[in-house]
Structure 1
């Protein structure tokens, strides 16, 4: 049974654009998923990337055009410059980690519920009420927003170290069985083909 380590950021527009397509691919091929929320800005710093605000103007322009095209292609509403971005991704990530440990809801749905609130619904995903609503939408107890902060912080930091060690440098980033790497929501089709033995 293949295993996918899924490195993602709750403030990443491309994690939002991934929707739940990776989960559909994993289910199709009987793959398990290890969800690893991380600090994307810290990951950029440790792997040679540049945070969006510090990129050259041509890169900023291309990023916005690409986000517009991809959201239209996928039929996902998207505000290219949301009111609450960037925001602190740690609270939503800690809540996600607590939800993963609880194991009673839809984790893929939770990633999408959080990121959608940032990128399509003009909500601040650092706020407890926003996080609770996302948890409840995905079938989890909203009270998880207030639990496991210390354990969540430790795992969040560990996920960053794991990502660097595994060779991940962006989000979303998918690694199959510790070796085959796929970077970006636009590589989910390739992930599907790889799991089918066609790549």
Structure 2
């Protein structure tokens, strides 16, 4: 069984635009997904990237155009200037890590719920109530919002270290063995790779 190490950020617009296509691809190929939420700004700092707010205006403008085009291409609503961005991604990431350990729900739906809350619903994913709502909607116990916080914090840091070591430098980032795929617009390439190497 192939394993997909999935590095992403709950505040990433392109993680949002990916929707649940990764889960559909994994199901088609019988692949396992290891969900690894991380601090995307720290990843940029570690790998030569620049936070969006510090990029040249032409890069900032292009990013917004690409977000609009890719969201439209995938039939997803998007607010290019959400009310709560950048929100603190740590609380939602900790909840996701706790949910992955607890099981019983749909992790793909949880990632989609957090990112949709940020990019399409103008909700603050750092707030306990929003995190609980997303957990419940994805079939998890809402109490996981406050479960295993120390363990979640440790895993969150570890995910960043693993991402840097594995060669990831953005989000979403998909790794199968030594093969790396950066961005939701590379999911077709991941799908094709699993067809021959799954």
- Normalization by structure 2: what TM-score? 0.99
Q: Secondary structure at the match of 1:79?
A: coil
Q: Does 1:26 align with 2:17?
A: no
In structure 2, runs of 5+ residues without a counterpart are: none
**Deviations for 1:84-105, whole angstroms, at most 9, x for unmatched residues?**
0001000000000000000110
**Deviations for 1:50-81, whole angstroms, at most 9, x for unmatched residues?**
00000000000000000000111110000001
Q: 1:116 corresponds to which residue?
A: 116
Q: Does 1:189 align with 2:185?
A: no
Q: 1:137 corresponds to which residue?
A: 137
Q: How many residues align?
A: 197
In structure 1, runs of 5+ residues without a counterpart are: none
Deviation at 1:197, TM superposition (A): 1.4
Residues in 1 aligned to 2:10 and 2:148: alpha-carbon distance in whole angstroms: 18
Residues in 1 aligned to 2:9 and 2:160: alpha-carbon distance in whole angstroms: 11
Residues in 2 aligned to 1:114 and 1:91: alpha-carbon distance in whole angstroms: 11
CA RMSD of aligned residues (A): 0.7
- Normalization by structure 1: what TM-score? 0.98
Residues in 2 aligned to 1:32 and 1:91: alpha-carbon distance in whole angstroms: 25
